[in-house]
Structure formats: C-alpha cells, structure tokens
Amino acid sequence: MKIKTVAGLAMSLVCLLASPLAQAQNAAGQQALYNKSLAASCANCHGTNGKAAEGSSVSGLAGLDPAFIVAQMKAFKSGTRQATVMHQISKGYSDAQIESLASFFAAQKK
C-alpha cells in the first residue's frame, strides 16, 4: 500500500508543478493565435504574414523592426504620415494591438 501512496503523491506533485507550465504554454498559444488573427486583416494589402506580392506598390511588413512598425502605425493614427487608407485603418487599433502586430510581423521571415 505504501508504494501506491508514494506513487500517488509523486503523480500529484508532477501534476501540480506542471499545471503552471501548461497554463503558460496555453496563454502563449492563445496570444499567438490572437496576433495571427490581427495580422490577417493586413493581408489584403500587405500579403499573408506580411509578405507582399512581388511587384506590389504596398510594402511588405515581414521582418521589419517592431519599433519601426509601431512608429509608422502611430504616425498613420495621428495623421502625421499621409496615406490613402492607413490613417483610417490604424485608428481601429489600440496601442497594445499595434504592439502585437509589430511583434508578429517582426517575427516573420521576409
């Protein structure tokens, strides 16, 4: 009987210690999915995952520095950078969403 008790205790400890790790992995997965869904709205002009079609007049976003993306989005949002539609689109994003988009696109290969 003692072996079952020790084994049960060991299993309980493993589950207890693994739980925060599993929760952290799940949260990271949810954030990645959220970022990808935000980026999907950019695909019509900037291409899937920020990879613009060859010959496009719209720049690709994949692999750009995240600080550059954030600065440009904020410039569009404030109206200090001229655009055809980006000044309107950028106003629909919070600063946190802009940061998420910048991180997503920076992580993509050109």
Closest CA to 93 of 32, 38, 27: 38
Flag residues of the chain having pLDDT under 50.
1
Model pLDDT for residues 27-44, shown as the tens digit of each residue: 788 988 999 999 999 999
The reported pLDDT for the residue numbered 25 is 73
H/E stretch holding 15 reads helix 2-40
Q: What is the pTM of this model?
A: 0.75
The reported pLDDT for the residue numbered 3 is 53
Domains of the chain: 2-106 (1.10.760.10)
The reported pLDDT for the residue numbered 29 is 86
